[in-house]
Amino acid sequence: MTCKAIYLIGFSLCLSAQNASALTLCGKLAQGELISGHETNAHTIKLGTKEYQATPDGNFILAFGRDEKAAQKLTITYKDGTKKSWDIKVAPTQWDIQNIKGVPPKKVNPPASAQKAIQKERTDLGKALSAQSTTPLWKNGFIRPLEGGRISGTFGGQRIMNGQKMNSHQGLDIATPMKTPIKASADGIVTLNEGPYFYSGTMVVLDHGQNLSTIYAHLDSVAVKQGQHVHKGDIIAYSGKSGRATGPHLHWGASLNGVRFNPQSLLRFDINKNCANL
């Protein structure tokens, strides 16, 4: 029953019934995945310690990190200030182990002289990933940023570089020849086009609205300007091997509200598919 239908009976009934509508979640509830949801009159959505904003029509996106806990509470705060919670289960994902040899030693154990550059890289990326544009440019889905290429490193893999245990991989690596055109995976706004940075080399970040960003790293050159609006499929850069790379490839990353997730889930992302009412 919609609020409009019962509005005829009385305004107070309309208010109490507006929060009784079903919560819809679309996508795979699993570690490393991006999902979408809808709940009429939702204002903010809290998952774990993170808070997400809904669009005025009640649509939202949520991301599950690599090490997301299995049992989660999802709480919606409605436009009238009332709240409702659901217990949800996040399925585990099996992450692989990636053995990488031949990395320049100073890129595995950076010298003290590199610390300033590493700090600048973190600051610049953090700033770009905190873009707060509200237009949901993510709504029409995503494409792979380049044609062909071999997947040389999956998201979430435990990395061992030159025999040394490192942090897990935060993106998807696609091996591709130098200067391959790299496309915007969705409509977006350029929030970073700088480099070469110590780890990521030359990098572009696109903001797709509501704090969802995609990252394109180890580039040879960029073809866009800071603040530029791009459309899905536009060429934004050319692939390279800048930063910490053993060969030419694209590192494609994805971030929502500070949560890094698997960019491959963007290719499965569809606000109308695999939906369930809770």
Residues that bind Zn ion (CB under 5 A): 171, 173, 251
Question: What's the min distance (Å) between Cβ of 119 and Zn ion?
Answer: 20
* Nearer of residues 103 and 275 to Zn ion, judged by Cβ: 103
* Nearer of residues 136 and 171 to Zn ion, judged by Cβ: 171
Question: What's the min distance (Å) between Cβ of 209 and Zn ion?
Answer: 24
CA 6 to chain centre: 39
* Nearer of residues 35 and 174 to Zn ion, judged by Cβ: 174
Structure tokens at 245: 């790379």
Question: What's the min distance (Å) between Cβ of 262 and Zn ion?
Answer: 12
5: Cβ contacts below 8 Å, ≥ 6 apart: none
b/e for 190-201, b at 16 or more Cβ within 10 A? bbbbbbbbbbbb
Question: What's the min distance (Å) between Cβ of 268 and Zn ion?
Answer: 20
Nearest-CA neighbor of 213 among 223, 202, 205, 221? Answer: 205
Using CA atoms, how far residue 231 sits from 20, 56, 71, 206, in Å, is 38, 23, 37, 11
* Nearer of residues 217 and 224 to Zn ion, judged by Cβ: 217
* Nearer of residues 173 and 220 to Zn ion, judged by Cβ: 173
Structure tokens at 196: 């070469």
Question: What's the min distance (Å) between Cβ of 172 and Zn ion?
Answer: 7
Residue 66 has phi, psi (to 5 degrees) of: -55, -40
Taking CB atoms, the residue at the shortest distance from Zn ion is: 251
